[in-house]
Amino acid sequence: MDLRVTDTAYLDWSGDALAIGFFEEQVELTGDLAALDEKLFGTLKELIAEVEFKGKEGSSAATRVGRGSAIRKVIIIGLGKPDGFKLDSLRRAGAASARLAKKEKCKTLGISLPTWNGNSALSAQAIAEGVELALYQDNRFKSDAEDKVSKVEQVQLLGLGGQEAAIVRAQHICSGVILARELVAAPANIVTPITLAQTAETIAQDYGLDLEILEREECERLGMGAFLGVAQASDLPPKFIHLTYKPAGTPRRKLAIIGKGLTFDSGGLNIKGAGSGIEMMKTDMGGAGATLGAAKAIAQLKPDVEVHFISAATENMISGHAMHPGDILTASNGKTIEINNTDAEGRLTLADALVFADKLGVDAIVDLATLTGACVIALGDDIAGLWSPDDAIAQQLNQAGDLAGEKLWRMPMEEKYFEGMKSVVADMKNTGPRPGGAITAALFLKQFVKDTPWAHLDIAGPVWADKENGYNSAGATGFAVRTLVNWVTG
């Protein structure tokens, strides 16, 4: 798809479909809009009246213009109330425009939307992201040829000429989101720990990043007993991935991003039962997918920040070698862990990854993981939980998420709850009581970070969408890639 910006106004544009945004209760056709309607033989006014269009957020409609018009179809997009207008409103409006144009079998699309806070660059980027992400379809595992699907071939963002750099930035970021989507959506017989390592190798080769893959023996030498305890039942080898982006000059800061990389989670000997959603446990590497997606985007954006992308990748399987409930594992910082639930395995892999990152001398660490069902119960499917004892990093991530349109909610680090994780025979258990389960999971992770500012994101809810929502189609969302990019480059 050819995506470009232009100074052409909607009055002068010609093509298959013209999309125009309207704020709620501001759908009167005056000035240039009245002139456009006259040019379109009154079609715009008729469409607004026919569908009782009020400009409410999420509303849209399209119709054909009469013969002889330079525009074949017109699309109207509701932006909601002006005082609720956000950058993500443009992202969603761009997505709605693109989806309708595709549905209406339009090859060329012009989009005319207001700018957010007078910022043309961020506005162009947001609209472009919405278009790119909405039009992406993952048909890799379908036998029907994709060429049967109607395609939008060219999109022009009207009135935003000169913002070519914003379009390029959006495309780099979307390439990372799409990589994350494809990794998370692929089944466990396609994406394995080996696949994740190979993906990291491809990114390193394509963009000149440094790569270190630690095999089982090297992890043993580093004392990664928690990670290897999870990995020991799988027939596939574990892969500890350490991918590093370094800027050309002196880095402004150094950061580490850690993604949980469980390519399949059976639950281990505490096997997931019927109705547990075990068939969706291919998504348990959503953190690693986002981490590698962010690596791809950042490698193309080339910020003046050094970033370490880390994932302890493995499966959690069942065999005669599986860790037992009651086993005691020793993490690489020497802390001992009594396993009271083999299905709480992600935090074990993250423990050794956090110790590894903490020794790199970075300025901050963020880990992200599809860690707990408790977080989904607390915050639903659209919001990720954010835990951090550091106010500065929590604020940075919240701001990064706001710009990305990815919702984060800061949760409490209630230290008292860690009492429920104390063990009679070891330093701690790997799970606590059922109440506050997402909080105790974060408190567990905190035991493996010394003094480095750190935050934990539980993305179990928003990593997957059961139905189309805005610029996310049904399936993997690539959640957190755009937030991570904003955090790194901010």
Q: Considering 272, 302, 335, 446, which one is annotated as catalytic?
A: 272
Q: Which two tokens stand for residue 376?
A: 């989904």
Task: Report the alpha-carbon distance of residue 280 to residue 187 in Å, rounded.
Answer: 9
Rounding to the nearest 10 degrees, give the CA dihedral for residues 89, 92, 96, 99: 160
Q: Is 429 a catalytic residue?
A: no
Determine the Cα angle at 455 with ends 451 and 459, to 5°.
155
Q: Considering 102, 347, 407, 429, which one is annotated as catalytic?
A: 347
Q: How far is CA 182 from CA 230, 262, 368, in A?
A: 25, 15, 18
Q: Is 347 a catalytic residue?
A: yes
- What contacts 28, CB < 8 A, 6 or more positions away? none
Task: Report the alpha-carbon distance of residue 7 to residue 218 in Å, rounded.
Answer: 57
Task: Report the alpha-carbon distance of residue 113 to residue 376 in Å, rounded.
Answer: 34
- Measure CA 62 to chain center: 30
Handedness of CA 400, 403, 406, 411 (dihedral sign): positive
Annotated catalytic residues are 272, 347
